Structure 1
Amino acid sequence: MSRTNGVNTGLPNITDMPSFLIAVEQLEEELIVLNANINTISQLQERSLNNIGDNRVQSDLDSLVRETKAMAQGLRTRIKEMESLRSNSREGQIRKRRVEILKEKFLQAMQNYRQAEQRFQSAQKAQIERQVRTVKPSATNEEIQAIVNDTSNGQVFQQALMNSDQLGKAKTAYRNVQTRHEELLRITQTMAELTQMMNDMALMVEQDQEKIAQIEKNTAAVEADTEKALNETRKARTWAEKAREKRKMCFIISVIILLIIAIALAIVFGRPQKN
């Protein structure tokens, strides 16, 4: 198994069952680390909200986000590789179930990560709104939404504060808003990547469900054909039994007829002849 920047990028030879189970354990351990990273990211995001000028917190957050996204992408790739090694044997069914569990855990982790990003996004927008109202209490909801959604490097914010009588606070607020806009852009990108990974994994789950549905459909068809064949066999057996009874009856009747003929002939030819 190869590793890049501490992240596994491939699977060992897992064609035999012991190697497969070892690989599953490794992925489960990495999923635990992934979830721990997500919790730490959430904590760092909360700290960054309250310490906007703390470069160390922001650096730690950016570094952990990069590491966690790379880990998630590696996990997704290796789970998909394991998915491709399934078979219809009993051992293959065990592999299939273990991979399904991995996919469910991965999806749950990505869902937790996306929820953390959504909370951070909402908090950043709320902070921007507070910054605006601090320097311009009369700002309308429309103005605030325009500033929150601004993609023009703060131009909307500058225009909104042109008539503010608190220029000192306005400059500080402008820098803070710019920083939060940059963070919002990073959040948007991260959420897009998480959504893509979740969609990929969800598609795999959906394809599995379609395969299962097809197998169940085929099984039902086989059962129906088997039942039909059994019914035909029962009918054939019944007809055969009736045919044997008829043959037996015909044989008995034939024997009786032959006996009657024999008795009649004996009587006729057994009488004394008159001279």
Structure 2
Amino acid sequence: MTKDRLAALRAAQSDEDDVGPDDVAVNVDGNVGYMDDFFNEVEEIREMIEKIQNNVEEVKKKHSEILSAPQTDEKVKQELDDMMTDIKKTANRVRAKLKVIEQNIESEEHVSKASADLRIKKTQHSTLSRKFVEVMTEYNRTQTDYRERCKGRIQRQLEITGRNTTSEELEDMLEQGNPAVFTQGIIMETQQAKQTLADIEARHEDIVKLETSIRELHDMFMDMAMLVESQGELMNRIENHVQEAQDYVDTAKQDTKKAIRYQSKARRKKLMCAAIGVGVMLLLILILVLYFIINRDNTPSTPPAATHPPPDGG
């Protein structure tokens, strides 16, 4: 399900608009809906790219379904053709919309290269372009993989008929574009032979369609790939800054944890020292008290002086 990212995009614009006195002010000609239209366009392109991505996954399933079936299912093949047509149509729309955004960015650069809105547009355009190329690269890889699997299927079917071919020989046959080169010499007396022939012709037809599709998308693919490559240095710098910031945060977290541990250990040491000091003081006081008590008990008492009566005068 497609997520609603308009709020996040608008929040990003709001952050960009919070410029300080030394920053360049945003110039949007006072039009409140100026960036809203752009955000809506970005979301529409994102949804189309996700649609292509989902269709590519379905195409993979159809490929496996076709190759695993003992006989060609025309319904499944038609569904596959419809998906490929839809992918091509949607991809052309995405490419056209990205081109329009690119042209608008180039026009605005002549007016204000430091505009915050322009930076947002560049970032969004670059992100969408890279995602689009990633999805189309996966689609191209899927088609190429299916072509190789179809070749393998043809090669195995030819081996069943007693005709062994190398991969190079098979490629030469495919380049001729005539399924008869695969089936010449096959005796059609048995039902198995007829089914083998039909399967070879069906796989050959699939390969022809794949090659046509790959050629049709090649120019668009290369155009977008070159665009993303030109943006690569900028995006790599951004990614490096993000990674450096993340590394700094991670290091700061580790340092904080270490500081907390050291602080905790230092606090425990202080408490232990204080407890030992108090214990020593109490022990000294106890020793002094016992000392005075013992000395008092052991001191001998002085007898009173004898009194003599006065002499008698008689």
Q: Which bin holds the TM-score, normalised by the shorter protein?
A: 0.5 to 0.7
The Cα of 1:30 is off from its aligned counterpart by 1.5
Pick from 105, 119, 129 the counterpart of residue 145 of structure 2. Answer: 119
Q: State the percentage of identical aligned residues.
A: 25
- What does residue 156 of structure 1 align with? 181
Matching residue of 1:169 = 192
Match of 1:134 in 2: 160
Is 1:45 aligned with 2:68? no
Partner Cα separation in structure 2 for residue 64 and residue 113 of structure 1? 12
3-state SS, counterpart of residue 113 of structure 1 = helix
CA contact (8 A) 1:146 1:156 kept: no
Match of 1:63 in 2: 82
Question: Which structure has the larger Rg over C-alpha atoms?
Answer: 2
> Which whole-Å CA distance do the structure 2 matches of 1:24 and 1:44 have between them?
30
Q: Residue 145 of structure 1 is aligned with which of 170, 192, 195?
A: 170
Which one of the candidate residues 109, 114, 131 is aligned to 1:105?
A: 131
SS in 2 for 1:84: helix
The AA in structure 2 aligned to 1:24 is V
1:67 & 1:165 partners in 2: Cα distance? 38
3-state SS, counterpart of residue 53 of structure 1: coil
Please give the alpha-carbon distance, in whole angstroms, between the structure 1 residues aligned to 2:97 and 2:76: 31
Do the aligned partners of 2:188 and 2:194 also contact (CA within 8 Å) in 1?
A: no
* Corresponding residue for residue 116 of structure 2: 90
Q: Alpha carbon RMSD of aligned pairs, Å?
A: 2.6
Q: Contact between 2:59 and 2:83, CA under 8 Å: does it hold in 1?
A: yes
Amino acid of the structure 2 residue aligned with 1:128: I
For residues 10-56 of structure 1, give each alpha carbon's deviation from its aligned partner in whole angstroms, at most 9, with x where no partner exists: xxxxx821210121111111211110011001101111112342111
Instruction: Select 1:20's aligned residue among 30, 38, 51.
Output: 38
| C-alpha separation in 2, matches of 1:129 and 1:83 | 47
How far the C-alpha of 1:155 sits from its partner, in A, is 2.3
Alignment of 1:177-196 (within 5 A): 177-196=200-219
The amino acid that maps onto 1:47 is E
Displacement after TM superposition at 1:203 (Å):
2.6
Residue 169 of structure 1 aligns to which amino acid in structure 2?
Q
Work out the number of aligned pairs and report it. Answer: 195
Q: In 2, are the aligned partners of 1:143 and 1:160 still within 8 Å (CA)?
A: no
Cα 1:185–1:44 shift into 2, 3 Å: same
Pair 1:152–1:24, CA change in 2 (3 A)? closer
Consecutive unaligned residues of structure 2, counting only runs of 5 or more, are: 1-32, 235-314
Paired residue type of 2:88: K
Secondary structure at the aligned position of 2:182 is classed as helix
The alignment's TM-score, normalised by the length of structure 1, stands at 0.64
Change (3 A) 1:148 1:127: farther
